[in-house]
Chains A and B, each alone.
Chain A
């Protein structure tokens, strides 16, 4: 059992032996947000490590990095329900995990976990149509009783 009183309030990151690069990028996200963190080597899946990290963190936020997976967890969430998991393809995507860990701690709105996902024209059409339909249904419900 980790003796929590020895540590400062900080985000905890557990990373496997090969996660050095991903760790650097995730840390850059936290550093840019000026939120303290510590990292240590761990074993297991990214999800397991993230959950333990969140429990060990006095700020209640943990990150697990393992075989290309990155998981962000918060200690009040249940074990099976991390806040977000992904396989970042770029430094930018990995950094978002660190930034959002920072924002979670600071109480700021989170940024999109998939900033590089291209918005196709179809998505735009889907959005417009679904909004129109939702609105029409709402109006129908409003006037009927």
Chain B
């Protein structure tokens, strides 16, 4: 009776088998539990025992009948991700309100000096004004005060309201003007300054405030000044309404923080690249330096901080000095992140370009002997350290029906993407790369501006649906599902994620289902398809993936409902058969290393 235990970064897996004297192996059971503690520490023993107990229970045997137990020779890998924003929207010399409320009132472009509604009675005939109404004024009073002022000859060209009363006010006015509402911070609106207020027809976007020359016309700007209003025009593009107020020698002064640079030290020398130049430039520098010995990030930048963090973590784990830890791989991906516009009065967000960076540090053999010893004592059976992890993964993967050498195993997990290749002659090469499930989650979080890592993780893992009525929803593949009982009103008209047991979680965003789906898939592609090619390219001698016939996918992310299909499709274009593994024809992508340990046990 033999057991193989694979202690991984996230899960600890066990394969249990009976080996007969003639060498035949009959697999009895398997199990999977969450790894306890950081991989490579004594804390793992508890998880290993739990997994063994679970497998033994399934096989209906007692742990005491185990003859031999093997654990994997772990190569710990520590990974982390960080984001660097490389563009920034800063508004100077003006203030802007671009929160795009749902129900603005009226229509058109209004230009005038901002005045508090109290001051309307003191305005002179012919004066062009934009009336500002705090929430203490009812919509009826607001409309009345505007009409009265207009009767006296004051040119009330537009109105700005704190409450959501845009349509109500506009419907009661004698003259059609634009009314922008839901300006929560009404006290921040500068008074006695020139302002432009625009509301487009239903279904349209504003045309003047989103045009630098439109702004130049309204405010009489010089060419130099027109350059400074481009960020405003950009931020208001596509809005149904907007407000721009000229506040000369404005109080908004922002320093642009450069994203910093990254230096790759490799066989071919040192290559420094500015993160500002984008993911492509960063990856090109990495290629030039390949094989990479170390990566350094600029102090004070987000990337620099992240690289320092993983060095420290690894240093703690292995007892090394953090400064002597070598970072061997980096994955850069272009993405977008929502940041607040400096100079916006209503917490406006704009999509800024950013570069997401995943980094990885690994070390050679961990002192697994300690873990083996500790486990031996608990079990009362000798625990051996089985072979090299990559080799065990290959042995296990070979139990997938339909494969043969040359075979590559692509292990796609949460922190890293690992590849192991067995060539026709039986020799094995392997590699670990940065960039996996955690990076995908971070990208989804930032591109959908969720600020909720857990929600991003759920969006990554589950399919979507749009609740179209209280009794039906349309799923992302367009099939419609009906319900006998009315759905919770909180789900009405929302995009929801469909979890197990019929649980539906509404998304708190305004994004359409198609947008969320597209972001989800693109983030997975940007990390996993890229890394599949990078990993496979690096394990083959020729660097050409076409020279690998079979690729099997294992690991947590191989359980994802769409990632394996994406990789199958892309690799298929290069003549490679790739797909989710099926260990021992029944385990799917799980249990490869544990199975391999058992198979190798009689060597």
List residues of A whose CB falls within 8 A of some B CB. 28, 31-34, 74, 76-77, 81, 83-84, 103-104, 107-110, 131, 135, 139-140, 143-145
- What's the minimum C-beta distance from B583 to chain A, rounded to whole angstroms? 14
Tell me the nearest residue of chain A to B11, going by C-beta: A143
Question: Are A33 and B103 closer than 8 Å at their CB atoms?
Answer: yes
13 contacting pairs across A/B (C-beta < 8 A): A28-B139, A28-B168, A32-B103, A32-B165, A32-B168, A83-B470, A107-B493, A108-B102, A109-B492, A109-B494, A109-B506, A110-B489, A143-B11
Query: CA separation between A64 and B529, bound complex, in Å?
Result: 56
Contact indicator per residue, chain B 498-519, by CB within 8 Å of chain A (1) or not (0): 0000000010000000000000
Query: CA separation between A84 and B470, bound complex, in Å?
Result: 13
Question: Are A34 and B34 closer than 8 Å at their CB atoms?
Answer: no
Q: Which of A32, A81, A143 contacts B34 (CB 8 A)?
A: A143
Question: Are B167 and A110 closer than 8 Å at their CB atoms?
Answer: no
- What's the minimum C-beta distance from B51 to chain A, rounded to whole angstroms? 9
Tell me the nearest residue of chain B to A95, going by C-beta: B164
**Top-4 shortest CB links A-B:** A109-B493, A143-B34, A32-B167, A109-B494
- What's the minimum C-beta distance from B13 to chain A, rounded to whole angstroms? 10
Question: Are A76 and B486 closer than 8 Å at their CB atoms?
Answer: yes
Query: CA separation between A107 and B139, bound complex, in Å?
Result: 26
Query: CA separation between A84 and B103, bound complex, in Å?
Result: 23
Residues of B within 8 A of A77 (CB): 470, 486
Tell me the nearest residue of chain A to B165, going by C-beta: A32
Question: Are A83 and B489 closer than 8 Å at their CB atoms?
Answer: yes
Question: Are B171 and A31 closer than 8 Å at their CB atoms?
Answer: yes
Q: Which of A31, A34, A76, A104 contacts B492 (CB 8 A)?
A: A104
Question: Are A107 and B468 closer than 8 Å at their CB atoms?
Answer: yes
Residues of B within 8 A of A143 (CB): 11, 32-34
Residues of B within 8 A of A28 (CB): 139, 168
Question: Are B32 and A145 closer than 8 Å at their CB atoms?
Answer: yes
Residues of A within 8 A of B255 (CB): none
Residues of A within 8 A of B241 (CB): none
Question: Are B470 and A74 closer than 8 Å at their CB atoms?
Answer: yes
Tell me the nearest residue of chain A to B590, going by C-beta: A145
List residues of B whose CB falls within 8 A of some A CB. 11, 31-34, 54, 102-103, 139, 164-168, 171, 454, 468-471, 486, 489-490, 492-494, 506
Question: Are A110 and B493 closer than 8 Å at their CB atoms?
Answer: yes
Q: Which of B139, B167, B506 contacts A34 (CB 8 A)?
A: B167
Question: Are B34 and A139 closer than 8 Å at their CB atoms?
Answer: yes
Query: CA separation between A109 and B3, bound complex, in Å?
Result: 54
Query: CA separation between A103 and B164, bound complex, in Å?
Result: 14
Query: CA separation between A107 and B494, bound complex, in Å?
Result: 9
Query: CA separation between A145 and B494, bound complex, in Å?
Result: 32
- What's the minimum C-beta distance from A18 to chain B, rounded to whole angstroms? 21
Question: Are A31 and B493 closer than 8 Å at their CB atoms?
Answer: no
Tell me the nearest residue of chain B to A33, going by C-beta: B103
Q: A108-B102, A144-B33 are in contact. List 10 more A-B contacts (CB 8 A).
A: A28-B168, A32-B103, A34-B103, A76-B486, A83-B470, A84-B489, A103-B493, A104-B492, A109-B493, A143-B33
- What's the minimum C-beta distance from B109 to chain A, rounded to whole angstroms? 21
Question: Are A81 and B486 closer than 8 Å at their CB atoms?
Answer: yes
Query: CA separation between A31 and B192, bound complex, in Å?
Result: 32
Residues of B within 8 A of A135 (CB): 454
Query: CA separation between A143 and B8, bound complex, in Å?
Result: 13
Question: Are B168 and A31 closer than 8 Å at their CB atoms?
Answer: yes
Query: CA separation between A32 and B34, bound complex, in Å?
Result: 53
Query: CA separation between A142 and B265, bound complex, in Å?
Result: 41
Known: A104-B492, A145-B32. A32 touches B164 (CB 8 A): yes
Q: Which of A31, A74, A107, A144 contacts B167 (CB 8 A)?
A: A31
Tell me the nearest residue of chain A to B559, going by C-beta: A142
Query: CA separation between A122 and B45, bound complex, in Å?
Result: 38
Count chain A CB atoms within 10 A of each CB in B31, B139, B164 and give the residue with the most: B164
Tell me the nearest residue of chain A to B164, going by C-beta: A32
Residues of B within 8 A of A144 (CB): 32-33, 54
Question: Are A76 and B494 closer than 8 Å at their CB atoms?
Answer: no
- What's the minimum C-beta distance from B453 to chain A, rounded to whole angstroms? 11
Residues of B within 8 A of A33 (CB): 103, 167
Query: CA separation between A11 and B493, bound complex, in Å?
Result: 18
Question: Are B493 and A108 closer than 8 Å at their CB atoms?
Answer: yes
Tell me the nearest residue of chain B to A81, going by C-beta: B486
Residues of B within 8 A of A145 (CB): 31-32
Question: Are A76 and B165 closer than 8 Å at their CB atoms?
Answer: no
Residues of A within 8 A of B33 (CB): 143-144
Query: CA separation between A138 and B439, bound complex, in Å?
Result: 21
Residues of A within 8 A of B166 (CB): 32
Residues of B within 8 A of A83 (CB): 470, 489
Query: CA separation between A61 and B157, bound complex, in Å?
Result: 37
- What's the minimum C-beta distance from B480 to chain A, rounded to whole angstroms? 15
Residues of B within 8 A of A32 (CB): 103, 164-168
- What's the minimum C-beta distance from A97 to chain B, rounded to whole angstroms? 12
Query: CA separation between A83 and B491, bound complex, in Å?
Result: 12
- What's the minimum C-beta distance from B25 to chain A, rounded to whole angstroms? 22
Residues of A within 8 A of B167 (CB): 31-34
Question: Are A131 and B168 closer than 8 Å at their CB atoms?
Answer: no
Query: CA separation between A76 and B54, bound complex, in Å?
Result: 50
Query: CA separation between A104 and B486, bound complex, in Å?
Result: 14
Query: CA separation between A140 and B36, bound complex, in Å?
Result: 12
Question: Are B493 and A76 closer than 8 Å at their CB atoms?
Answer: no
Query: CA separation between A140 and B54, bound complex, in Å?
Result: 13
Query: CA separation between A131 and B454, bound complex, in Å?
Result: 10
Count chain B CB atoms within 10 A of each CB in A32, A74, A76 and give the residue with the most: A32
Query: CA separation between A145 and B51, bound complex, in Å?
Result: 11
Query: CA separation between A109 and B470, bound complex, in Å?
Result: 11
- What's the minimum C-beta distance from A120 to chain B, rounded to whole angstroms? 20
- What's the minimum C-beta distance from B578 to chain A, rounded to whole angstroms? 25
Query: CA separation between A66 and B120, bound complex, in Å?
Result: 40
Query: CA separation between A23 and B168, bound complex, in Å?
Result: 15
Tell me the nearest residue of chain A to B492, going by C-beta: A110
Query: CA separation between A104 and B489, bound complex, in Å?
Result: 9
Residues of A within 8 A of B139 (CB): 28
Query: CA separation between A99 and B102, bound complex, in Å?
Result: 12
Residues of A within 8 A of B468 (CB): 107
Residues of A within 8 A of B492 (CB): 104, 109-110
Residues of B within 8 A of A81 (CB): 486
